[in-house]
Chains A and B, each alone.
Chain A
């Protein structure tokens, strides 16, 4: 029974039928909702400013819509005005949701930390994922209130026509999905921040460009290829998906591109943000890695599957080929992001995680997906190289002609993508193995990637100015990953292709070397840590034995006392522990120093 609701919890389902089990679940959810959600709702209900803000916003948007409708109706047909108002309203609503959602969510966990209530919540034994869910539900409810408050203004386009009720309904559905992502994003940032002000500033600074980018790239940008596919969908409108869902012809492409792909585009980032939040809420000695690694594995496969859809649905052979090459580049970006994500991994499992694995009799796969930088790098390498190989095979199969040039383009691009990918993964593992905190590893990785991307072009420019020829000067830029596009473009130029392949091989070798060094470093550090833990346990065992012996001697006749006391003295004086940090490594595999900083997690 919940104290907050006062509702009696149903004890068990009436029967094993699905309906009864569902009824039981709903009843339980009603009786025992997430306690944090309930509390936040009570607090929110006492805030005076919320209804005022909501009313003002609704009023402003309604006035804007009315003014715009009035202005346009004199010059354009009612249907065009309705369509324009539809775009304007949902664009505005999109920006309201993507700004308000993260801001409200950023408020949640950081405010607990700043208000010093976080530890009290944590010590209740409530699981961090439940905390994340409660906070999410609270912020999502608040954002949903904003959307519902704006809904009457969204009905204004009906007055003019040009949009169907289905389009408006679907647009609202997608608005709720966008709100889900926006809140999850704010929560992920909030879970990392200690101060409320910091959380708000960082969230808004990130949310503003990100939402603008998504609006332009996935909204306005994608409307053009969608128009090419389905001419019923107008070009240039950012809110094209509801229109496409209502007006496009139903078929396989419809399901894959307009239903599955958008849902995946919401679900996969939402899952990532959830895992990041949960990892940040866990302690540094807990298993913060398994969830993220599961997400990476599933997302890799999903990306490969999603990449294949446009490749095989594109109308022209040349487009299919281009799509395959683009998919490879996009995957490379994803792999780089994963390298940054896993640069926060600990060196290996902590004592707590190892004990839990032992208790749960965890199998090799679960242990492999557990904490550890070597496991993370190996996972990245295996999935990455398999995916890149698969995309190469698809590109070869979809090449428009059987000419050697197209084939060479695929090989050059694949070689560079694979080589550079191995380099990035190896380097990130090595940097994490050598540095104290994930932040340092990530900053160094970013600096190196920026350096190898930009510096070769500066060198090429200098060679071009001072050297003899333009072509030979550009060869010196082959170390930059962007050089591969030049090489692909000049596939007839032997020097460009050779330089590109050489750079690919060099990056692959460097990556392998870095990875090997990281493995060696982790092995040494974990062995030291194991020895250190074993030594501590041995001392405590000896002390226990000495105490037990002393207790036994007290119970024995006096004639035995001298011998036993002597033994107890010897064992009862444990050697003073050596400086723990000087030789050993901390529980999360840190070699020395500050092993348990709050930011010492994978996320």
Chain B
């Protein structure tokens, strides 16, 4: 059995008389990009700060690569890279000097590391500019470069794309995907769900200090669907408890823009193999289906066979939003 890259068990924390974390447990497997979702004040940053050894938990245990963060913070610091929300930078040094300082502080005994990290994060052209002259997105990339200097196994990023323009967000997203291919485990906190759904392999939703749900996005979606169905048939009397169900085929969504009457297209698809639901939304048709890209190709072929001109095919992007809303829905 592989050791989880991050293992949080029965974590409690309190500020004053207020419990910010209540029995939070989750695991992140090596090589995953884990999205940590929750509204403001849910306890995301507190959990992250505990993982980063900056806070000691009141109770529970947090292990990074099998090392207890409370007992061996120094060992944990060597294998994590933590980028806080709105991290500060030294303004009166150049980008290169900034990274050289942190390379020395991390005791990285290799002159090539700074160049490698500059290249990886694509800030080579900025290396001789003062940090004060960088844009927010560039500073964020510099922050990422900083936490990569000591080649950590686990990256913990608190709202890395907040306050960034669309271009900078896309650049950060691509960078995270690159880092994943290098074998890094990434825990990413954000409340911009579309941003997470693009990169995350699994998510955890935290609300009011409780971990509401955690796991791969598809699996959570299925679990919630099972729960929804069970609730509808009166089998699950207690709302909020997410049952552990056997993995089921994942429902995916598709938005088709067609020429002519969308209702005709909907009729052509209705009841087809693997088609879960079909609905007309304005000039488009929304299709729920089971399967992968082959099924998408089949759907398009089916419409072509029925003489329906397909203008555009878009995947339904709000899967995570739907999960979030459903998982955090309060019983009326």
Contacts and interface: CB of A to CB of B under 8 A. Distances in A.
A581 interface: yes
A582 to B, nearest CB: 10
A124 B109 contact: no
A125 B70 contact: no
B1 A4 contact: no
A120 B146 contact: yes
Nearest to B14: A581
A1 B113 CA distance: 12
B105 A126 contact: yes
Contacts of B15: 594
A1 B110 CA distance: 7
Interface stretch (B33-41, B51-59, B297-305): B51-59
Interface in B84-125: 84, 86-90, 92-93, 97, 99-111, 113-114
B101 A39 contact: yes
B86 to A, nearest CB: 7
Interface stretch (A71-79, A111-119, A198-206, A423-431): A111-119
A577 B21 CA distance: 12
A39 B109 contact: no
Interface stretch (B71-79, B163-171, B321-329): B71-79
B215 interface: no
Interface string A124-157: 1110000000000000000000000000000000
Contacts of A47: 92
A35 interface: yes
Q: Which of B15, B23, B59 has the most CB of A within 10 A?
A: B59
Contacts of A284: 56
Contact of B88 (A116, A352, A595): A116
A289 interface: no
Contacts of B216: none
B90 A43 contact: yes
B265 to A, nearest CB: 47
B88 A285 contact: no
A382 interface: no
A580 B114 contact: no
B167 to A, nearest CB: 25
Nearest to B152: A123
B10 A119 contact: no
B213 to A, nearest CB: 18
A500 B206 CA distance: 65
A38 interface: yes
Interface string A541-554: 00100000001000
Given A43-B92, A125-B77, A1 B111 contact: yes
A574 interface: yes
B77 to A, nearest CB: 4
A593 B19 CA distance: 11
A596 B77 contact: no
A9 B82 contact: no
A124 B106 contact: yes
B127 interface: no
Contacts of B109: 1, 9
Contact of A117 (B71, B90, B104): B90
A67 B109 CA distance: 56
A3 B16 contact: no
B36 to A, nearest CB: 18
A123 B52 contact: yes
A133 to B, nearest CB: 13
A43 B98 CA distance: 10
A536 interface: yes
Nearest to A2: B104
A39 B70 contact: no
A124 B97 contact: no
Interface residues of B, number: 53
Contact of B77 (A38, A124, A536): A124
A540 B10 contact: yes
B71 A35 contact: no
Contact of A35 (B16, B59, B61, B105): B105
Contacts of B146: 120
Contacts of A30: none
A3 B10 contact: no
B92 to A, nearest CB: 4
Contact of A116 (B59, B86, B108): B86
Contacts of A587: 56, 70
A32 interface: yes
A46 interface: yes
Contacts of B55: 596
A101 B180 CA distance: 48
Contacts of B89: 117
B191 interface: no
Contact of A39 (B54, B60, B87, B93): B93
A122 B102 CA distance: 11
B97 A574 contact: no
B100 A3 contact: yes
B92 A46 contact: yes
B56 A539 contact: no
B78 A543 contact: no
B2 interface: no
A595 B93 contact: no
Contacts of A119: 52, 54, 82, 84, 87
Given A123-B77, A123-B82, A596 B106 contact: no
B332 interface: no
B98 to A, nearest CB: 8
Contact of B1 (A121, A539, A543, A551): A551
A355 interface: yes
A115 B88 contact: yes
A596 B12 CA distance: 13
Contacts of A43: 90, 92-93
A447 to B, nearest CB: 24
11 contacts: A3-B99, A3-B114, A9-B109, A43-B93, A116-B88, A120-B87, A285-B70, A587-B70, A593-B17, A594-B15, A596-B58
Given A3-B101, A3-B113, A124-B77, 4 more contacts: A36-B101, A120-B87, A120-B102, A577-B60
Q: Which 3 interchain pairs have the tightest Cβ spacing?
A: A116-B88, A35-B104, A124-B105
